[in-house]
């Protein structure tokens, strides 16, 4: 074979190999995109209503399970942005907060979603829905707004301060808690009509996550593995630490003294009888969402939706 023919044969082989590799890459991308949970998903929150679980994240990702997290189906929002929080209402419907300034209302099965505009803010940071279906949204510059008509209109309870209100929850329709920058705590006992200061978390404390099991007992977590707990509805706080000194982003208060925390680099631990035990088998991903299910728990994070059986603590 002449030199020219040999070079032509080599060129054709290289082109064929490139085409084959291109086909393989295309096939790999297609397989990844077909998954309910993708490696690139930055899942921020997960919530359940007793029948369905909904996880939300970047690029309008909405991922739904009807079997306590055993299997998931993807229902991306066509115009969804960075979804940073999802919450369940008393009637079983869902509300998901879009960092871009919208609230998405979802049906109890998580299949259908419709957008609602929010009052203007530099940043919308958290949403809660009480048992009476009243919605609450917090954000930058002391934003605290509420809606009792399905987000059609909003009433402001905002602070006239340059402060980020980071977390809001209503364990009961009457009792609600807000935590924010500089360790700020606000409490209401009259359905949000008035708010009063609670016990401070410390001026240097930035609460990354909060969860109240009842109107008496709740926990907040932050950087350095910090865990603060209240047994009197946020009026006083006891400071402790999880097993590792790393950022904690999510917390779930469970009956008794039990609690679960999750955070950076696959950190997940459960407290039982006053002792923390790491949860094994968790991927090295940032974990931000926690929810109780009918069979245990589910963790949500970067490329991760992981069910944890109720009896599995190590």
Question: Residue 265 half-sphere exposure, CB side, CA atoms within 13 Å?
Answer: 5
Q: Give the separation between CA 160 and CA 203, rounded to whole angstroms.
A: 18
Is the whole-model pTM more than 0.85?
A: yes
How far CA 294 is from CA of 48, 122, 129, 304, in Å, comes to 10, 38, 21, 19
The pLDDT value given to residue 23: 57
Q: Give the separation between CA 256 and CA 272, rounded to whole angstroms.
A: 9
Q: Give the separation between CA 43 and CA 301, rounded to whole angstroms.
A: 5
The pLDDT value given to residue 34: 76
For residues 10 and 255, is the Cβ–Cβ distance under 8 A? Answer: no
Token pair 């609600």 in the structure block, residue: 176
pLDDT (tens, 9 = 90+) of the chain, 314 residues, equals 555 555 444 444 444 545 555 655 555 566 666 788 898 899 999 999 999 999 999 999 999 999 999 999 999 998 878 999 999 999 999 999 999 899 999 999 999 999 999 999 999 999 999 999 999 999 999 999 999 999 999 999 999 999 999 999 999 999 999 999 999 999 999 999 999 999 999 999 999 999 999 999 999 999 999 999 999 999 999 998 887 889 999 999 999 889 999 999 999 999 998 899 999 899 999 999 999 998 999 999 999 999 998 854 44
Token pair 């602070």 in the structure block, residue: 159
- Does the CA dihedral 309-310-312-314 come out positive or negative? positive
Nearest alpha carbon to residue 232 among 220, 257, 214, 250: 214
Q: What is the DSSP letter of 253?
A: E
Q: Give the separation between CA 19 and CA 286, rounded to whole angstroms.
A: 36
Residue 252 sits at the vertex; the CA angle it makes with 249 and 253, to the nearest 5 degrees, is: 135
The pLDDT value given to residue 27: 54
> Please, which residues have CB within 8 angstroms of residue 75's CB and are 6 or more apart in sequence?
62, 63, 64, 110, 111, 113
The pLDDT value given to residue 35: 84
For residues 248 and 225, is the Cβ–Cβ distance under 8 A? Answer: yes
Nearest alpha carbon to residue 167 among 177, 152, 182: 177
The pLDDT value given to residue 11: 44
Over residues 76-114, the pLDDT tens digits come to 998 878 999 999 999 999 999 999 899 999 999 999 999
Q: Give the separation between CA 92 and CA 55, rounded to whole angstroms.
A: 15
- Integer-rounded Cα Rg, in Å, for the chain is 23
Residue 294 sits at the vertex; the CA angle it makes with 99 and 115, to the nearest 5 degrees, is: 25
């Amino acid at each position: 074979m002449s030199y020219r023919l040999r070079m032509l044969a080599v060129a054709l082989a290289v082109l064929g190999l490139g085409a084959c590799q291109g086909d393989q890459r295309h096939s790999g991308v297609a397989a990844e995109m077909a998954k309910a949970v993708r490696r690139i998903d930055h899942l921020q929150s997960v919530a359940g209503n007793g029948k369905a679980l909904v996880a939300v994240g970047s690029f309008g990702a909405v991922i739904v399970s009807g079997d306590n997290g055993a299997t998931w189906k993807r229902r991306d929002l066509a115009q969804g942005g960075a979804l940073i929080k999802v919450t369940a209402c008393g009637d079983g419907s869902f509300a998901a907060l879009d960092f871009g300034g919208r609230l998405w209302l979802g049906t109890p099965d998580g299949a259908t979603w419709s957008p609602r505009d929010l009052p203007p803010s530099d940043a919308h940071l958290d949403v809660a829905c009480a048992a009476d279906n009243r919605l609450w949204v917090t954000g930058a510059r002391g934003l605290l707004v509420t809606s009792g008509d399905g987000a059609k209109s909003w009433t402001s309870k905002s602070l006239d301060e340059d402060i980020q209100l980071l977390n809001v929850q209503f364990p009961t329709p009457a009792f609600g808690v807000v935590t924010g920058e500089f360790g700020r705590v606000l409490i209401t006992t009259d359905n949000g009509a008035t708010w009063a200061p609670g016990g401070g978390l410390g001026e240097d404390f930035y609460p990354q996550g909060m969860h109240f099991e009842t109107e008496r007992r709740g926990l907040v977590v932050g950087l350095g593995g910090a865990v603060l707990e209240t047994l009197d509805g946020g009026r006083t706080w006891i400071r402790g630490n999880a097993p590792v000194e790393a950022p904690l982003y999510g917390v779930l208060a469970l009956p008794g003294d039990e609690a679960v925390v999750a955070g950076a680099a696959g950190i997940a631990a459960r407290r039982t009888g006053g002792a923390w035990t790491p949860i094994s088998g968790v991927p090295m991903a940032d974990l931000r969402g926690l929810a109780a299910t009918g069979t245990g728990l589910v963790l949500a994070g970067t490329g991760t939706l992981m069910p944890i059986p109720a009896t599995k603590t190590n």
